[in-house]
Homo-oligomer: A and B are copies of this chain.
Amino acid sequence: MEQRRADSIAEELEELIFAGTYRDGDRLDEMRLAEQFGVSRTPLREAFQRLALSGLVELIPRRGAFVRQPGPVELMEMFEVMAELEATCGRLAAMRISDAALDELRSANANCKAAVEVQDCDAYYTENERFHRIIYQQSGNRFLEQETAKLHKRLKPFRRQQLRFRGRMAQSMAEHEAIVDALVQGDAAGAGEALRAHVAVQGEKFHNLMASLQSAAE
């Protein structure tokens, strides 16, 4: 983007927000954070703008920057859109994917399988990420690739929790196989549907999690 300072600050703040350090509605104090990062207010304000761009904070005129954590409803909505974008990537990729990329997918999938066997969530997550990114790229639509990757990144912290559900990794794995099969056969509709379902189930799982948290709170 622009300068080094504001950029790294934006990233650090992003991490903090993702990590849940700030709650929804928390105000980000310019002066306090400026002191904390050892910079003036100027680069901090630029960082705020970036975060506002990705929807992580809301900038209210004359009031300040407020952390904007998506609620359950918004998260479900985001997963719904994510499912569509991924489905589109899959449909296009089925027609355009290269043999080299197919090999890459198989490799990522093999690594996933290994991670499932030793129940290594982190390793699974990394390879899963690679798997999906390849499909975005192979859609042959750079704009779609970027938009999908953007939303993927934003949903990252919520997707990560999914894998800790019992049996989710194995299920996810099976879905990956189905996706690759459809892509190999150039089955556009099938690949799209497989990806849509693969992502949509995450939204549903999340919904379940929310529901269980809510009932536990009662």
Contact = CB atoms under 8 A, between A and B. Distances in A.
Interface of A: 1-4, 7, 42, 45-46, 49-50, 52-53, 59-62, 74, 77-78, 80-81, 84-85, 88, 141-144, 147
A2 B142 CA distance: 31
A60 B3 CA distance: 8
- SS of A interface (majority): helix
Contacts of A78: 143
A144 B88 contact: no
Given A1-B59, A53-B53, A59-B1, A84 B88 contact: yes
14 contacts: A1-B52, A2-B49, A2-B52, A2-B59, A2-B61, A49-B50, A50-B53, A53-B53, A74-B142, A77-B144, A78-B143, A81-B88, A81-B144, A84-B88
Contacts of A49: 2, 46, 49-50, 53
Nearest to A70: B143
Count of identical protomers in the assembly: 2
A61 B3 contact: yes
Contacts of A50: 49, 53
Contacts of A88: 81, 84
A143 B3 contact: no
A142 B77 contact: yes
What are the 6 tightest A-B residue pairs by CB atom distance, in nearest-first order?
Answer: A53-B53, A77-B143, A49-B49, A2-B59, A77-B141, A84-B88
